[in-house]
Amino acid sequence: MSAAGLFAVMAILLFAPPWTLDWWQAWLFLVVYFGSSTVLMLTLAKRDPALLERRMKGGPWAEERLSQKIIMTFASLGFVALLVIPALDRRFGWSHASPLVALAGNALVMIGGYGVWRVFRENSFTSARIELASDQRVISTGPYARVRHPMYATALAMMAGIPIALGSWWGLLALAAMMPAMIWRMFDEEKFLAAGLPGYAEYKQKVRYRLIPRLW
């Protein structure tokens, strides 16, 4: 899906349930999210077009194995819920968050975006689907020296910021529902890499933590 198409879909998911365009938190979030995404895409197009191409092939339809198709289906539904639940929250007034909360949520989205850029700069093999490139090697520097899945860690920060940026505490339930799929994907990816990527098993022994340093 193109950036314009994604913007249109996200805008519909946000503004259709409350049936109003009078929602400054949603407009600000869209500007922050797509502004950050555009800068990231332009940077990749200039510095690493091969990585950009790999990142454009994502979603359930892009995965080759059934397990990952299932995982990514749940993840995609969870992302939709991250938008729809806050939209319903806006309509029915379930949450009462101050404007500062929305600004903090957007800051978290930008921090997550920076983390994604940092991962991309360190690892040119970061495909949107679980696969192995012919010349792929183990990356153990930068954020990969601290956790085995820095992409998931930064994505988690970004996704946590989305409902907060939209002023919805209830939207965080969607993130909680997505966690089993994310954890399943991490375990499945590790199994796949350990079987097919030379040196990954040793890397797992060296870097103990998957997602959060000194915790898990």
pLDDT digits (tens, 9 = 90+) for 130-166: 888 888 999 999 999 999 999 999 999 999 999 999 9
> Is the pLDDT reported for residue 75 higher than 80?
yes
Which span out of 55-64, 81-90, 204-213 was modeled with the highest average pLDDT?
A: 81-90
- Residue 102 scores a pLDDT above 70: yes
Please give the average per-residue pLDDT across 183-194, as a whole number. 93
Q: In the prediction, which pLDDT does 1 show?
A: 61
- Round to whole Å and give the CA distance between 157 and 166: 15
pLDDT tens digit sequence for 17-50: 999 999 999 999 999 999 999 999 999 999 999 8
Q: Is the dihedral of CA 96, 109, 91, 99 positive or negative?
A: positive
Residue 51, both tokens:
């990585």
Model pTM?
0.91
Q: Annotate 144-171 with b (16+ C-beta within 10 A) or e (fewer).
A: beebbbbbbbbbbbbbbbbbbbbbbeeb
